[in-house]
Structure 1
Amino acid sequence: MRAISSGRFGTLLKEAFSTPLAALLSLSAGLVIVALGWGSARWLILDAVWPWQDAALCKAQAGICWPFLLEKTRFILFGTYPYELHYRPALVSLMLCLLAVATCRQMVGKGFRLTAGQLALSWLAVIVLSFLLMGGGVLGLEAVDPVRWNGLPILLMLSIIAVALAFPFGVLLALARTQKTYRLLARSAAVYVEVARGVPMLTVLFVGIFVLPLTLPEGTSVSPVVATLVALIFFHASYFAEDIRGGLLSLPAGQGEAAKSLGMTYWQAIRLIILPQAIRRSLPSIVNSTIGAYKDTSLVVVVGIHDLTATARMSFGDPEWRDNALEAYVLVGMWFFLSCAFLSGIGRQLHKTSSR
C-alpha cells in the first residue's frame, strides 16, 4: 500500500513540475490553497466565538459567530413556519431527502431495489404527505398558511418534486418531437420546447403565479406554492426533453428497424430498446440539468416564496445580528455544495455503470 501511495505521489509531483510553467502554476496554486486554508482555519477556529461565549464578542472578533448559528439555524431552515410545529417541515425535509437519496442509489445499483411501480407509488405518497403535513387542516393537524412555508422544505418540495415530475414529461416531449408518424404532434412539441427554453425562468414563474389562477374555474383558488411547482415542472421538462432528444438522435436507425423486424410494437421498442440507450447516452446532460434545476429554485424568492437563501437573508435582518451575513450564507452554501456534490457523484457512477 505504501509503495502504491508513493508511486502515485511521485507521479503527481513529476507531472506538477514537469516544465517551468507547470512548476510555476503548481507553486502558485499551492500558495493559494495554503492561504485559503489558513484563512479558513482562523475564521472557523482561532478567531471564532464559541457557543458558550457571550454573543457580544461577535462584534469584536473576526471569526465565525457560533451563537448566531445556534440561535438562527432553525429560522434559516424553517423560516416563519410556527416554531412549535417545526417537527412537520423537518419530517417533510427528511422524507424528501431520504426518498431522493434512495432513488439515486437505486439508479446506481445500490440500496433497496424497488420496481418502477413501487417507486412511483412511493413518490406519490411522499408528495401527497408532504403537502398534508405542511398545510395541515386535516387529521387533526393545525392549518398553516402557505405564505409561512419557508426555508429548506419549500426548497426541497419545489426542486425535487419538480424534477421528479418534469423528467417523465420531458421524455414524452422528446418522443413526440422525434417520431415521424404524426407531424403535427412533432411540430407542437418542438414549438413548446423552443418557447419554454427561449424565455427566462422568471417569466415562467410570473405566469404560474399570476396567469395560471385566471385559467381556473371561477371560485377556484390555487396555492402560490402549487402554482410555482406547476410552472417549474413545465419549464424544466423542456430542458429534459432536449437532453433525451439528443440521446435519441444519436442512436443508429437500425435499432428501431431491428425491433420492428422482431415484431415489437412502437411502445415495446421504445421501452425495451430505444429509450434505455438514449437515456444512457444523455446522462451527463441530464445530471447537469438536474443540478441546474435544483439550484435555480432559489429564484422563487422574486414571486414571494422564501426558500433557504431567502430565510438566510432574513436571519441577519435582525439588528442584533446584522453583521453575521457570512455565517448564514456559509451554512446555506455548505448545504448546496454537499447536495450538488452528491448529485455529481451519482452522475459519475451512472456514467461508469453505463459505459461497462
Structure 2
Amino acid sequence: MMIASIGKGHTTVLMKAAFGSPLAALLSTVSMLLIGLIAWVALRWAVIFAVWPWQSADLCSGTQGICWPFLVEKTRFILFGTFPYDLHARPAVVSILLCALTVLTCRHMTALRPRLSVTHLAILWGVSIVLTFVLMAGGVFGMEAVDPVRWNGLPILLMLSIIAVVLAFPFGILLALARVQDRYWFLARFSSIYIEITRGVPMLTILFVGIFVLPLVLPAGVAISPVVATLTVLVFFHASYFAEDIRSGLLSLPAGQAEAADSLGMSYWQKTRMIVLPQAIRRSLPSLVNSTIGAYKDTSLVVVVGILDLTATARMSFGDPEWRSHAVEAYFLVGLWFFVTCAYLASIGRCLHKKA
C-alpha cells in the first residue's frame, strides 16, 4: 500500500512538472511528438522494411530499411580491419581485455564489487598494456608477426583512447601539483608553459608532430611505430587537459584543509595523497569525466595520419562496389558503439558525482 502511494506521488509530481503550465504542456507535447516520430522512423528502418540476415542480399538494393546481410558480412572487417583474418582472435582478446579492465576500474571507483586495491589495479593495467602490444604485434611465443600498419578498427581505437587516458591521468596530476605549488618556481613555470602551449595547439598538429617529427629526433637506428608515436603524443596532449581539470579542484579547496594537515605534522606527499588530492579530484569530477569522454571520441582524428580506427574501417567496408550504397549501416554500427560506451562513461560520472 505504501509503495503504491509513493509511486502515485511520483507520478503526480511528474505530471505537474510536465503539464503544470501552458508553456510546459506545449513543450512536453512537442517533445513527445518528436520522440514518437523518431521512434516510428527508426522502427520502419530497423524492423518493418529491414532485410533480415537469412534473406538474400539482392533484396537490399530496393529496400528502405537496414540491410542486415551487409552487417553480417562486414562486421568483422569493421571491427578488425586489415588484421589477418585467421588471427582475429588476438585483436578480439585485446578489445575484450581493455573493455573489461575499464569496467573493472569504473566499478572500483564507484565502490562496486569486485574491488581491487589501487596497487593491484595499477599492476594489472601495466601487465595488460604490455600484453596488448604483444598480442597485436606477435613475433613471440610462436605467434605470427603483424605489421602495425595492419592494426585497425576497434583494437586501435581502444588502445589509443583507453591506454592514453590511463597513462595521461597520473601525468596530469603531477603537472597540476607542480603548477599550484610555490616552493620550486621553475617547476611551476615549466608546468604552466607546457600546459598552455599544449592546450593552445590543435590536436591534429600534435598528431603530425608525433608521426613525422618525433622519429626525426630519435637516435640513429632507433625506429618507432606510428601507433606508439601517436599513443605517446596523445598521452602528453590529454595530460595537459587533465592537469587543468585537477588544478581547478585544487584551487577550489579551502586553505584550512592544507593548514590542518600541516598542523598535524604531515609531509607534503602525505598531505597531498591523503587530504588535498582526493578532495580536489572529487570537486573536479564533472570536468574530468567530460575530458575523458572527449579524449575517447577525439581519437577518431588519428585517421588523418594514416591510422585506421573504427570510423575508417567502417568507411572502407562500403568501398566494395557490391555494398557501396550501405554507408548508413556501417556508420550505424559505429554510432551505436560510441553511443553505448559514452553513455556508460557518463553514467559512471553521474554515479561518482552522487557519491562525492
TM-score bracket for the superposition, by shorter chain length: over 0.9
Q: What corresponds to 2:296 in structure 1?
A: 294
Equivalent position of 2:313 in the other structure: 311
Partner of 2:188: 186
- Residue equivalent to 1:142: 144
Does the aligned pair in 1 maintain the 2:104–2:114 contact within 8 Å?
A: yes
Match 1:154 to one of 156, 162, 173: 156
Match of 1:223 among 194, 207, 225: 225
State the 1:198 CA deviation.
0.4
Find 2:95's aligned residue among 93, 96, 106: 93
Of the structure 1 ranges 144-153 and 209-218, higher mean CA displacement relative to structure 2 is found in 209-218
| Equivalence for 1:121 | 123
Structure 1 length normalisation: TM-score?
0.98
1:269 is aligned, of 268, 271, 288, to 271
Deviations 1:282-329 (A, max 9, x none): 111111100000000000000000000110111111111111111111
Which aligned pairs between 1:227-238 and structure 2 lie closer than 5 A? 227-238=229-240
Two-structure CA RMSD over aligned residues (Å): 0.9
1:143-164 C-alpha deviation (Å, 9 max, x unpaired)? 0000000000000000000000
Q: Bigger CA drift: 292-301 or 250-259? A: 250-259
Kept in 1: contact 2:107–2:115 (CA 8 A): no
Per the normalisation by structure 2, the TM-score is 0.98
Question: What do residues 251-286 of structure 1 show as CA deviations (whole Å, max 9, x unaligned)?
Answer: 111211211111111111101111111011111111
Match of 2:165 in 1: 163
Alignment of 1:204-353 (within 5 A): 204-353=206-355
Question: Superposition pairs for residues 3-18 of structure 1, below 5 Å?
Answer: 3-18=5-20
Give CA-to-partner distance per residue, 1:80-106, whole Å, 9 cap, x none. 000000000000000000011000100
Looking at structure 2, the residues matched to 264 and 336 of structure 1 have their Cα atoms a distance apart, in angstroms, of 44
Could you tell me which runs of 5 or more consecutive residues in structure 2 were left unpaired when the two chains were aligned. Answer: none
Which shows bigger deviation, 23-32 or 102-111?
23-32
Task: Find the aligned partners of 1:218 and 1:146 in 2 and give their Cα distance.
Answer: 21
Which moved further from structure 2: 237-246 or 6-15?
A: 6-15
- Find the partner of 1:45 among 30, 33, 47: 47
Task: Give unmatched runs, 5+ long, in structure 1.
Answer: none
Cα deviation 1:193-245 (Å, max 9, x = unaligned)? 00000010000000111111112110110010000000100000000000000
Q: Which residue of 1 is the match for residue 79 of structure 2?
A: 77
The CA distance in 1 between the partners of 2:60 and 2:12, in whole Å, is 45
Aligned amino acid, residue 53 of structure 2? P
Which residue matches 1:199?
201
Matching residue of 1:61: 63
Report the AA paired with residue 182 of structure 2. Answer: K
Deviation at 1:6, TM superposition (A): 3.4
Give the whole-Å Cα distance in 2 for the aligned partners of 1:24 and 1:346.
33
Contact 2:48 2:65 in 1 (8 A): yes
Matches within 5 A, 1:11-26: 11-26=13-28
Instruction: Return the alpha-carbon distance in structure 1 between the equivalents of residues 66 and 12 of structure 2.
Output: 38
Query: Following the alignment from structure 1 to structure 2, what is the Cα–Cα distance between the partners of residues 21 and 118?
Result: 54
Give the Cα–Cα distance (whole angstroms) in 2 for the partners of residues 152 and 62 of structure 1: 28
Q: Sequence identity of aligned pairs in percent?
A: 69
CA distance in 2 between partners of 1:83 and 1:329 (Å): 22
Q: Is the 8 A contact 2:136 2:146 kept in 1?
A: yes
Measure how far apart 1:11 and its partner are. Answer: 2.3
How far off is 1:4 after superposition? 3.3
Q: d(CA) in 2 for partners of 1:68 and 1:56?
A: 11
1:112-154 Cα distance to aligned partner (Å, 9 max, x none): 2222221111001100000000000111100000000000000
